[in-house]
Amino acid sequence: MYLKNLHLLQFRNYQDQWVEFGAPKTILVGNNAQGKSNLLEAVELLSTLKSHRVTRDRDLVKEGAEWGRIVATLERQTGEIDLSLTLRRNGRRTVTRGSEALHRQIDFLGTINTVQFSSLDLDLVRGGPEHRRSWLDTLVIQLEPFYAHILQQYHQILRQRNALLKKIREQGTVNDTSISSVSRSELALWDAQLVTAGVRVMRRRSRALQRLTPISYYWHQAISGSTEKLEIKYLPNVPMENDDLELLKQAFLEKIQQRTIPEQHQGTTLVGPHRDEVEFTINQTPAKQYGSQGQQRTLVLSLKLAELKLIEEVIGEPPLLLLDDVLAELDLTRQHQLLETIQARFQTLITTTHLSAFDPVWLNASQILYVEAGHLSVHAW
Ligand SMILES: Nc1ncnc2c1ncn2[C@@H]1O[C@H](COP(=O)(O)OP(=O)(O)OP(=O)(O)O)[C@@H](O)[C@H]1O
């Protein structure tokens, strides 16, 4: 797929900026805080309807404006598609594809596929499990947009179950035997729903990782020169011996029953995929604790390359790659690995403060745009 152009209206620090992507690689160069990442964020929003930087739409709308809009033309194998996302300070959004305003935002997902790589992605290795869950979920949504709906449903059930557990705790009925029969039957209903939605989340996460890991291993070996052995393990909170639906549901329910007392004491759900973990080890040592910066970078790069390949395999078209301030941080060998993989096949948007750290091969093959204070230009300012 190829993003032909982008039009930013009252988005972040852009007032009214049009950009035509004239080459498979575009390098956005400029000093700090000029709007480079903002532009990548706009593409991320069209792809995932989320920003990894903020959760509130009012931060995305230009200061002083009530609404902002991101408009784009995308070329896919099936033809050209016009897209737009309107953001409002009050959080209400409008999405359109072609001339059609979509009632369900979920229907918009999967139109543009992207893989992102920014310095924040090192949190994938160093940060808490929520970073790894969110990374995995974003990947699964790209592979199967309907997963966004499943995930949303799971979190809704989780919130409601938590509210009930809190109510039970506030009523001081922490001893299981003294819970009113009304609360008990209400809780049993939520248990069943949590299990049904939870196993759908777990099975999809597990399958996506199963497909991603061999590709990641391949890249990790290639980049580390076969000196290091990467292992990726899905550690679901509910033990998952195999993919059998009924066995999994049973294991889930059993674990909930074992945690009845602590759950009611703490007033929160302690069992389920919201507590899943993904473990990365290098030569049998947890990458999180012992990996050097270089090792962690190699690991994240391997994951990103694997994501590109997997999405391409599943979708049947190469996704876009968004490289936010990370390429210059990679040494030339790793830059070459990346270059060889993406070639001209994956459209890539790259931000950087300096062109000097780049391989000349990259530079010659790229469209270079200079960014200053929310304006783009083909010449240095
Ligand atoms: N809602 C907004 N309205 C107006 N300006 C905004 C808004 N949100 C962010 N900005 C401005 O955008 C700029 C930050 O841009 P961006 O994050 O794209 O930086 P960058 O060019 O990628 O630089 P860096 O290399 O530091 O990441 C800042 O000047 C900030 O004040």
Quote the tokens at residue 193: 């729903």
Average pLDDT value for residue range 300-329: 92
Strand partners for 84: 71, 96
What is the rounded distance in angstroms from the CA atom of residue 166 to the CA atom of residue 172? Answer: 10
Q: Which pLDDT band, with edges at 50, 70 and 90, does 356 fall under?
A: confident
Sheet of 348-352: strands edge to edge? 114-118, 320-324, 348-352, 25-29, 366-372, 375-377
Report pLDDT for 178. 63
Asked if residue 285 has pLDDT above 80, the reply is: yes
- CB 37 less than 6 A from any atom of ligand 1: yes
Q: Which pLDDT band, with edges at 50, 70 and 90, does 343 fall under?
A: confident
Q: How many CB atoms lie within 10 A of CB 11?
A: 29
Asked if residue 363 has pLDDT above 70, the reply is: yes
Report pLDDT for 11. 98
pLDDT, tens digit, for every residue of 136-190?
999 999 999 999 999 999 999 999 999 999 999 888 755 555 677 888 899 999 9
Q: Whose CA is nearest to atom 3 of ligand 1?
A: 62
Q: E strands along 261-326, which residues? A: 277-282, 285-286, 320-324
- CB 62 less than 6 A from any atom of ligand 1: yes
301-330 burial, b for 16+ CB within 10 Å, e for fewer?
A: bbbbbbbbbbbbeebeebbbbbbbbbbbeb
Superfamily of domain 1-113+317-381 in the CATH hierarchy: P-loop containing nucleotide triphosphate hydrolases (3.40.50.300)
Report pLDDT for 173. 56
**β-strand 348-352 against 320-324: which pairing, if any?**
parallel
Cβ(111)–Cβ(74) below 8 Å: yes
Q: How many CB atoms lie within 10 A of CB 373?
A: 12
User: What is this model's ipTM?
Assistant: 0.92
Report pLDDT for 277. 97
What is the rounded distance in angstroms from the CA atom of residue 261 to the CA atom of residue 230? Answer: 39
- Check whether domain 120-315 has CATH 1.20.1050.90, yes or no: yes
Cβ(321)–Cβ(342) below 8 Å: yes
pLDDT, tens digit, for every residue of 16-66?
999 999 999 999 999 999 999 999 999 999 999 999 899 999 999 999 999
Q: E strands along 149-194, which residues? A: none
Asked if residue 313 has pLDDT above 70, the reply is: yes
Query: CATH 3.40.50.300 region(s) of the chain?
Result: 1-113+317-381
- CB 10 less than 6 A from any atom of ligand 1: no
Q: Whose CA is nearest to atom 16 of ligand 1?
A: 35
Query: CATH 1.20.1050.90 region(s) of the chain?
Result: 120-315
Report pLDDT for 191. 97
Helix (H) or strand (E) holding 15: strand 14-20
Report pLDDT for 176. 52
3-class secondary-structure state, position 171: coil
CA atoms within 13 A on the CB side of 315: 27
- Identify which of 51, 211, 276, 47 has the alpha carbon closest to the alpha carbon of residue 141: 47
Q: Which pLDDT band, with edges at 50, 70 and 90, does 226 fall under?
A: confident
Report pLDDT for 237. 98
Average pLDDT value for residue range 357-362: 79
Pocket test for ligand 1, best of 36, 59, 354 (most atoms within 8 A of CB): 36
What is the rounded distance in angstroms from the CA atom of residue 114 to the CA atom of residue 347? Answer: 10
**β-strand 366-372 against 67-76: which pairing, if any?**
unpaired
Q: Which pLDDT band, with edges at 50, 70 and 90, does 329 fall under?
A: confident
